[in-house]
Each structure stands twice: as structure tokens, then as C-alpha cells.
Chain A
Amino acid sequence: MLRNIIRYDLKNLLAERSIQAVAALFALLLAYGLWNGIRWNEHRRTTIESVRKEQQQRLAALPGRIAQAPSQGLPAFLDPRMPSVAGGREATPYLILPPQPLSGLSVGQSDLYPFYLRASTQSASNILSADEIENPDNLLIGRFDLSFVLVYLFPLLILALSYNILSAEKEQGTLALTLSQPVSLGRLMLGKIASRAAVLLALAIGASAAAAAATGAPVLSVPFALWLAVLLVYAAFWFALAVFVNLLGKGSAVNAVLLSAVWVSLTMVVPSALHMLAGSLYPVPSRVEMIQAMREASREATAKGSTLMARYLEDHPELTPGGSSTVNAADAASRSLAVQEETERLMAPVLGRFDRQLEGQRAILQRLQYLSPAVLAQGAMNSLAGSGPERFEHFRTQTVGFLGRWRAHFARLVLAARMLTPADVERLPRFVYADEDPGAVVARVALSWLGIFIPSAVIVLLSWMRMSRTRIVSA
């Protein structure tokens, strides 16, 4: 019975010109999103490859250059043996956030946050200001990738095909003949939804699998299975909504208006409102302000000049064992190091506030994301693709830690007035990104999934309750 409904409804549906056009448009959008994601992924992969290669060549050549330096008579600022030169330029590694298998499916915020940085003994502040939320819309919707198509446009197509599943049958008069047969309204609607879902989900799942295959991600993997689970529950939400609105007993035109309004609210109004709310409750200084503050701090630190040096040494007694310092206070490198440290110290409260504000924003978005299944779905897809804010935060924390270690390493050399030897190159700190705990990602996605599933289930229940009260013949 259900099979017959699906079969004939599908036949009737697919013969409709407008439906063909809608399906073709969807396929096109999916293909474009897919291509965009693949291109981005490729760009990211080749970028990482080329910086890795550059680093490898540079570091391989460095011991040799250090060994030759004494005979070359280079000025200090070019001498690779100088800690300031090595730590600031010659020996610096790249800090890379590697892509995840599904990263081609959802670019997320990875084109806003840097996915690699070059380490340096300079202040870490530059890096910290990079994840400032400047343009909420950009951050919210991101790139035109597969997840964008699935989260924002897919619902629109679901609604385009389902806004009149019942009202059209009523208006065209086919419902009477259909329901004079031993079939319930519930089963009829289920069949009609199933036929539409079959068309749209075949396209959506097909595109996801194609994207995964094209970027070399395994299709039989937990992240991809979860991706499909999110996709399915998200589609179910919109289908349920269409069913419910149809059961209100209004005409097709009213249904269309109602459903469009819901679509606009959930995919556009609520997300922007959330970000505006987060931004106004926890305003972060703008990029310009941050740069201002940094200049200010650095000027102040420089002005204090050599007096800093004494304090610096007091702060770092481990650097002057036995109280006798080999440090020449007039040494330019040492002084610049002290200035840097002071700048860092002056910037600390500014950065702390910045961090707290961002954390506040994230916390409130975390809580209020349940207001919109679109926000939840996008968040879950980003998480699965490894392009969500949580992973970037994870990366950033490790980055900051590493930069501290890097600076300290070279500070020790500077203060000990030591030059690098070829063997030192081997002993430089190394950065290896430790990825998020996969369990934490699964848990996060599961919560988002539930956040979509529960309202969908409620809508289905309400529809079920309305079903018996639905008029079959129009007055």
C-alpha cells in the first residue's frame, strides 16, 4: 500500500515540469557547493604541503649555514647563529592545523581562522586577534560549500516540494477519491513525504558521498555516518514542519507563506539575532582597537628601555645562575627581548578581556543554538568536518603554548649570550598538533542531533493529534 503510494506519487511528481526544474536546480547547487568545498580543500592541502616543504628545506640547510657562518663575516642581523635571527626567522616552524577527512564538505570558519601560522619569537598577540568575530553573517553562513547548501537551501527545496502535499490534493479534488479507499490520511501523507524525501535525500546523500569520495575521505567512517544522521534528522524536521502546516487546513498559498516565514526565521533571523545578542552582551574590541593597544604597549615598553633589563633578570633568576650575568645590558638582542616580554605583559589584561568576551559569546551561542535547527545542523556539520570554532580554539591554545616555549627557548640562548651550533637545530622545540578527543566531537554532534530530533518529534506528535480533526472536503 505505502509502496504504491510512493511509486505513483513519485511518478506523478517527477512528471511535473516545476518539480523537474527544482530538482535540477538543487542538483546544480549541490554540485557547486561540492566543487567549492573540494577546491578549498585542495587549496588548503597544497598550501600546507608547500609550507611543509619550505620548512623542511630551510631546516635541512640550516646546520650547514650555521657551520659556514663564521667564515662569512655576516652582519649580526643576518647571521643564522644569532638566537634572534634563528628564533625570529631562520629556524621558525609552521604551526599547522591539519585538515580532517570531511573538511571538504564543510569549510566552516576555516577560511576566517588561519589554519597555519609561522612561529616567531614575536608577541603571540597577533595570532590571538585573528579569531575575532568581525562579520557575524560571514561567520554564521560561511562559504558556499556543501554544508551551506544542505543547511540553508535544502530546507527551502523540501518546503517547495511539500508545502502543498495535502492542500493541493484538496484543491485539485483528488483527496476525496483517494480517501474513499481504505487508506488513512496519515499513511497517505507518509507515502507522499517518503516519495519527496526519496528524491531530495538521494541527491543530498549522493552529493555528500561524492564530496567525501572526491576529497579521499572514507565513506564508511563514523564522521560520515554521523554526517548522514545529521542530514536525515535535519530533513525530517523540515518535512515534519510541512506536514504540520498542511494539517492546519489552510490553502496552498497560506501554507507557502507560513513555511517561508519559518524558513526565514530559523535560517536567517534567529542566527543573526543570536550573534547580535552575543555581540552586545559580550562586546570584543575590534581588530583596530587591538592593534592600537598593541602599538601603545610596545611604545611604552620601548620607552622604558634599559630599566626593563634589570627587572627582566630579576624575574628570571634561572637565567643568571650564581648571580653573575654574562649578559651585556647594552646588547640589542637582549634588550629587544626584554621589551618584547614587557609588551606581552602589558597586553595580557587586554587579551584576557578579549578572551573572556569571546568565551562569553561562545557560551551564550552554545546555549541558545537550540533555538534554531539550522544553527545546530551547521554546528554539527562543522564539527564533523573539523572546521568548527571548538577545534580552532583547541588549535589556538596549543599554538599559544608553543609560542611561549619557543620564545623562552631563544630567550635562554640570548641571555646566555650563546650562538646556535649546527647540533642545536635538532634540539629546537617542535610543534605537533594534538587533535580534539573524537569522543568529545561525537558527544557534541549527538547533542546537536538531539536538539533537532526533539522538536521534530514534537511536531510529528502535534501533526498526529491534528490528523483526526482534518477536514477532507472543503466547505
Chain B
Amino acid sequence: MLEAIALSKTYGAHTALHPLDLKIEPGEVYCLLGANGAGKTTTINLFLNFVEPTAGQAKIAGLDVTKQSIESKKHVAYIPETVMLYRNLTGLENLEYFTALAGVEKYSEAQLRGFLRDAGLPQQAEDKRVGVYSKGMRQKVGIAIAMAKKAGALLLDEPTSGLDPKASNEFSELLKRMSGDGVAILMATHDLFRAKECGTRVGIMKQGRMVASLSTSEIGHADLERLYLQHMHD
């Protein structure tokens, strides 16, 4: 569903991403780990065609994201690290707008409110201007927007940043459910525990290189942490 083929990105002399090969099948949850500046966001932005690849290819549902940019975006939902919304619109209106842009089926108002509730947004916030939302509340609207799109692939850039522990936990449950529905998920995160918990595979990045890639079933939580720190040290 998500595929990188020798995908790389350089900024001048600096290589943000060395050639990367990656394939994420439906139902897989791939967690990208790595220090700040390792290239996680770069990888996700390449899939979204927000930055142009220096070489290689990124594909979503078999579509080259640079050549079929618009078409490929029908198959992917995205939650950025900080979800920013139209601040004069309510949470509900934002959801309405973005699902309209997504071009998916027309939901009833009750269904839209259902998505917001599933994402954990307090009901009384639904009709308030987003301008008065906290970061976590916006994040939840972002989650609702992603869910409502019913896309086959999900790109997540530290989606739980700003979420309280309960919401974080619920989000993990949500990911598991979506993975069960056959959604391919690529998630950048700093949370080793959650990566082990809801990921099916993890990849460790360092200075733009994928230095390790393994299945979470092969490894315990403590081992994952040890492996991660070991890579960071040398």
C-alpha cells in the first residue's frame, strides 16, 4: 500500500534521507523511530509530495506520488505533529470541510459528530470555534478527519504529541482497529512503548539512514529500548 523505492532527499550538501526502500502492506503498522533530525518527517513529507524527492520513488496504492499527486492523495490520510485548523470554524465545520475536500461520501451531521466523539473530542467542544481549542483537542479533530476519510493508508507524524495519556491509549486502540480493517500505517514516533504496543514493525533511523528494521513480535519492549539506544550511541 505504501512503498518507497530508493527514495532519497538531499538539501544542498546535506542528505536528509539516504536511499530508502520500504514496503508497508495493508494491515501493517510501521513505526519510524529515531532522534530529532533523523529524517522521519522528511520521509512522510515525501509520501505526501510536500517535498520533491532527489531520487527514487514514493508510491501510495501503486501510484507514484509525484506523477499522480492528486490521485494518490485519495488513498491516504495524514495527521501532522500539530494539527492546525481554520480557527474561525468549529470543530464540526472543520471536519465537514476537510471531508468535503477529501471527496469521500457525504456524511450526515450525526455521523460527523460520531467521528469527533470516537476521536475523543468532548461533545461540548464540537460547536466551538477551533480558535479556543487546546493542542490536544485539535489533534483529536485531526484524528477524526483522518478516520472519516476511510483511506487505505495512514501517514502519522508524531500524532499523539499533545494527547493526554488516556487519549493516547485510545489512539493506540484506534490504530489497532484500523490495522485490523486492513489500513497500512506509517507512523513517526518517539514513544518506544507505544511503538512496541501497536506497531507490527519498527524501523530505527539515524542521520537519514534506516539502520534497523524489525518485526515487533520478534522483540520485547526492553530489548527494543536497548537496541534503540545502542544505535544512537555508535
Contacts and interface: CB of A to CB of B under 8 A. Distances in A.
Interface of A: 1, 4-5, 8, 11-13, 15-16, 172-174, 176-184, 471-473
Given A181-B101, A182-B70, A11 B76 contact: no
A174 B142 CA distance: 11
Contacts of B142: 177
Interface in B85-100: 85-89, 93, 96-98, 100
A8 B97 contact: yes
A4 B97 contact: yes
Contact of B85 (A15, A177, A471): A177
B62 interface: no
Nearest to B96: A8
B80 A176 contact: yes
Closest 4 CB pairs of A and B: A173-B84, A15-B88, A180-B78, A181-B101
Contacts of B155: 180
B222 interface: no
A173 B80 contact: yes
19 contacts: A1-B101, A8-B86, A8-B97, A11-B89, A12-B86, A12-B88, A15-B88, A173-B80, A176-B50, A177-B78, A177-B145, A180-B48, A180-B76, A181-B103, A182-B74, A184-B69, A471-B50, A472-B51, A473-B51
B52 to A, nearest CB: 9
Contacts of A173: 80, 82, 84
Given A176-B50, A177-B98, A184 B103 contact: no
Given A11-B88, A12-B86, A473-B45, A5 B101 contact: yes
Contacts, number: 81
B185 to A, nearest CB: 15
B47 to A, nearest CB: 10
Nearest to A5: B101
B103 A182 contact: yes
Contacts of B145: 177
A12 B89 contact: yes
Interface in B32-55: 45, 48, 50-51
A172 to B, nearest CB: 5
B83 interface: yes
Contacts of B50: 176, 179, 471-473
B102 to A, nearest CB: 5
Contacts of A1: 100-101, 103
A183 B80 contact: no
Nearest to B103: A182
Contacts of A13: 88
A182 B48 CA distance: 10
B7 interface: no
Contacts of A11: 88-89, 93
A181 B98 contact: yes
Given A4-B101, A8-B96, A177-B142, 15 more contacts: A1-B103, A5-B101, A8-B86, A11-B88, A12-B86, A174-B86, A176-B78, A177-B84, A178-B98, A181-B102, A182-B103, A183-B73, A183-B101, A184-B69, A471-B50
